[in-house]
Amino acid sequence: MEYRILGNADLKLSAITYGAFAIGGNMWGGNERKDSIASVRASLDNGVTTLDTAPFYGFGLSEEMIGEAIKGYDRSNIQLLTKFGLVWDGSNSSKGEFFFDAEEAGKKIPVYKYAAKASVIKEVEDSLKRLQTDYIDLLQIHWPDSTTPVSETMEALELLQQQGKIRAAGVSNYSVELVEAARKNLQIASNQVGYSMLNRGIEKDLVPYALEHQLGIIVYSPMERGLLTGKYFKDGKLKEDDHRNGYFGQFDLAKVKTFLDTITPLAEAKNATLSQLVLRWTMLQPAITIVLAGARNAAQATANAQAADIDITPEEMQFIHSALSKI
């Protein structure tokens, strides 16, 4: 495993980081609790020291399972990354910016973007309880909230740092302009954004900015929610409540399949899976600090961790980029 410093923060994180969205259950068709916890522990046992979650993932369930899974491990060797700013119940639900209606047990649950100071502080207290810890290594705003001044949100993060409840502050899904605004108020370590072989928009502005300003980039959805594993083309049936039924429609699936067929021999030559090759490619892109990889069971988690060991030569990288240019 490789370990990398996150931006200008005093945090060394595993380049492959465990992404805990899917184990929360909502929007992913559910998962067995024992398998979820086993996947976290398998990650830790294979060199992954960094776990990324959020209150919204399973409406608290993901954080609760992370807290349960790390029992028995040395907390000082684990970096817990979580978020705030998506609220779905209580008095805050009528505040902020409406995001979308989530579903839980067949019931619609309105979700709002809300990052006012008092709400942020409350969310962190709730997260600390669910994670069963007294500090969070990196706290990130989940999505921008247009109803709250950036300065107010940053003021909350600064207070939490002073109190020792968070070690570093980050943002997520922020434009370069919003990152600039945040950094005028507080030292921001990172921006967590979507990035993959099929979604490379950040290369135009965020990547150059990050390289120039020592900003870490945390990547989510490097596998495009499983599409780049190739499994979808072998067994394309998803559960009815799986959000990917609609999500995959944005891609030219025929071209994606041709691309995956083209690079599959390269993965096989390295005794690697497509997923491992894709994860390693993502890790090697400029300015990318860590890559989130989700897992539903121990076997998937172990395979994700092993992706860090794959070697890709400059010639092989050019071969992949050439194949990508045809999508």
Q: Which among 242, 296, 241, 238 has a CA at the least distance from the CA of 34?
A: 296
Q: Which among 146, 144, 145 has a CA at the least distance from the CA of 176?
A: 144
Rounded to whole angstroms, the Cα distance separating 165 from 157 reads 9
**Strand arrangement of the beta sheet that strand 97-104 belongs to:** 86-87, 107-113, 97-104
Do the Cβ atoms of 323 and 49 come closer than 8 Å?
A: no
Residue bearing tokens 């990288």: 317
Buried b (16+ CB within 10 A) or exposed e, 76-108: eebbbbbbbbbbbeeebeebbeebeebeeeeee
Residue bearing tokens 């290369």: 203
Is 57 catalytic? The answer is yes
Q: Which among 19, 72, 25, 26 has a CA at the least distance from the CA of 43?
A: 19
Q: Which among 216, 152, 138, 143 has a CA at the least distance from the CA of 175?
A: 143
Do the Cβ atoms of 301 and 245 come closer than 8 Å?
A: no
Backbone angles phi, psi at 249, to 5 degrees: -65, -15
- Residue of 3, 18, 57, 220 marked active site: 57
Do the Cβ atoms of 203 and 176 come closer than 8 Å?
A: no
Joined together, the tokens standing for residue 239 give 């559960």
Catalytically annotated residues = 57
